[in-house]
């Protein structure tokens, strides 16, 4: 029996090496990945693609811009994609409506859409009775504005739906509104023209409002059958975030490529936002979803009776992030 031990060990070794050889030689998993917006928020996906992190993790990812989050969710439910770059109200609306698109990692855990105002407005309290532009009702810019008013104790402001970020900036410049929710690069233009940043990322972080503003979404039906693919996608995305922090030159190059921007000021502003806001780990605080559901019920954008029947855990799944954390992935990533 003992004489057979070396032979058994060799057999096991050959089996192990054989398994690894099959994995190494197997074709990468193909993934279609819709995302929005075309701004620094999408840097984790762009960097993971261009810096080779997806490829290293055995993924062949086809990135494509889809536009509104609601359109991305509809595309996923139609079977066009199993993963996407999005977060926020669209996830909640889809789950309440019976869809299976959920959040599996957070990459931005603070509000980042600044509020800009006319130069004569110096405090949020001055917006009482004034018009404030958001891109769309139910969007992150809308939710962020509501949180600003709540924190500042402001009532009586009128939120209007502009249709998009450029439209919000235009409404502010024309004087049609007293303030508007406008992220980079349009925010830089507003600041240079003398408009005031009433609330920015720094203030949002100090308020410590529980939120997942951007992240990785997935179809529950797919990740339940393909957990390893989900885990590898999250790993690649956070390797991309590390590269963003560590390689500004490459990040600016990728920002310019995808946003088609050559203006150094705009690129620097976008980079500043990214390192201020991108999370170094992907855990999603349950309270972020609790607050979001309550706000959406209050806005009547989802049915209260239906929402009450759904547990908060139906909107997200932290298992992949937790597994990576237990394996020491995030700790090693930032050593």
pLDDT at 22 over 50: no
Is the same domain home to 267 and 245? yes
Within-domain flag for 69: yes
Percentage of the residues of the chain whose pLDDT score is greater than 90: 76
Return the pLDDT at 9.
43
Instruction: Work out the average pLDDT over 44-59.
Output: 98
Range of the domain at 302: 29-104+212-333
Among 152, 176, 207, the domain boundary falls at 207
Pair 292, 268 in one domain: yes
Same domain, 100 and 131: no
Average pLDDT in the 295-317 region?
Answer: 93
- State residue 202's pLDDT score: 86
Q: Are residues 179 and 226 in the same domain?
A: no
Average pLDDT over residues 140-145: 90
Which pLDDT tens digit goes with each residue over 65-108? 987 788 899 999 999 999 999 998 899 999 999 999 999 999 99
Round to whole Å and give the CA distance between 65 and 37: 7
Closest among 198, 185, 217 to 66, alpha carbons compared: 217
Q: Hey, which residues does 62 pair with through a beta bridge? A: 32
Q: Is residue 18 part of a domain?
A: no
Between β-strands 179-181 and 131-134, what pairing exists: parallel, antiparallel or unpaired? parallel
Residue 25's pLDDT band (boundaries 50, 70, 90)?
low
Single pTM value for the model: 0.84
The answer as to whether 20 is a domain residue is no
% of the chain beyond a pLDDT of 70: 93
The last residue of a domain, from among 207, 224, 242: 207
pLDDT on residue 50: 98
The least confident of 7-16, 141-150, 186-195 is 7-16
Domain with 190 in it: what CATH number?
A: 3.40.190.10
The number of distinct structural domains making up the chain is 2
Q: What tokens does 309 get?
A: 């029947």
Kindly report whether the peptide bond that precedes residue 37 is cis, defined as omega within 30 degrees of 0.
Answer: yes
Q: Does 185 score more than 90 pLDDT? A: no
Say whether both 216 and 182 belong to one domain: no
Closest CA to 218 of 323, 315, 120: 315
Q: Is the pLDDT of residue 145 over 60?
A: yes
**pLDDT surpassing 80 at residue 284:** yes
Task: Give me the DSSP letters along 275-304.
Answer: HHHB-SS----HHHHHHHHHHHHHTTSS-H
Of the residues 176, 207, 238, the one at which a domain ends: 207
- Both 216 and 99 in one domain: the answer is yes
| Integer Cα distance of 292 and 71 in angstroms | 20
Q: Could you tell me if residue 216 is inside a domain? A: yes
- Phi-psi domain of 212 (left: phi exceeds 0; alpha: psi -120 through 50; beta: other): beta
- Give the residues across from 115 on adjacent strands: 181, 199
Query: Is 72 found in the same domain as 184?
Result: no
| Spatial CB neighbours of 114, under 8 Å, sequence gap ≥ 6 | 181, 182, 183, 187, 197, 198, 199, 200, 201
- Asked if residue 220 and residue 190 are part of one domain, the reply reads no
More confident residue, 67 or 249: 249
Question: Is cis: bond before 185, omega within 30 of 0?
Answer: yes
Backbone angles phi and psi of 103, in degrees to 5: -90, 135
Torsions phi, psi for 210 (to 5 deg):
-65, 120
- Asked if residue 161 has pLDDT above 50, the reply is yes
């Amino acid at each position: 029996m003992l004489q057979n031990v070396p032979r058994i060990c060799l057999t096991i070794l050959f089996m192990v090496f054989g398994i690894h050889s099959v994995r190494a030689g197997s074709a990468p998993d193909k993934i279609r990945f819709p995302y929005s917006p075309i701004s620094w928020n999408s840097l984790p996906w762009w960097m993971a693609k261009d810096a080779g992190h997806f490829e290293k993790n055995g993924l062949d990812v086809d990135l494509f811009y889809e536009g509104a989050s609601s359109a991305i969710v509809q595309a996923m439910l139609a079977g066009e994609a199993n993963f996407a770059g999005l977060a926020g109200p669209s996830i909640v609306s889809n789950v309440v409506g019976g869809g299976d698109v959920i959040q599996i990692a957070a990459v931005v855990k603070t509000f980042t859409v600044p509020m800009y105002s006319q130069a004569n407005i110096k405090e949020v309290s001055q917006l009482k009775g004034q018009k404030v532009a958001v891109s769309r009702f139910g969007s992150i810019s809308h939710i962020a504005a509501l949180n600003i008013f709540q924190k500042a104790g402001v009532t009586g402001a009128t939120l209007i739906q502009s249709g998009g970020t450029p439209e919000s900036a235009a409404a502010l410049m024309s004087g049609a509104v007293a303030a508007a929710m406008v992220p980079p690069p349009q925010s830089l233009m507003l600041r240079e023209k003398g408009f005031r940043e009433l609330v920015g990322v720094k203030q949002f972080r100090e308020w410590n409002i529980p939120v997942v503003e951007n992240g990785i979404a997935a179809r529950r039906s797919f990740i339940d059958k393909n957990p390893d693919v989900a885990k590898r996608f999250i790993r690649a995305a956070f390797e991309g975030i590390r590269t963003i922090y560590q390689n500004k030159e490459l990040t600016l190059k990728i920002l310019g490529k995808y946003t088609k921007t050559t203006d150094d000021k705009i690129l620097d502003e976008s980079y500043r936002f990214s390192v201020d806001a991108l999370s170094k780990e992907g855990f999603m605080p349950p309270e972020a979803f609790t607050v979001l559901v309550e706000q959406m019920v209050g806005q009547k954008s989802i049915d209260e009776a239906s929402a009450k029947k759904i547990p908060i855990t139906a909107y997200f799944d932290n298992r992949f992030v937790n597994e990576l954390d237990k394996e020491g992935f995030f700790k090693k990533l930032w050593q």
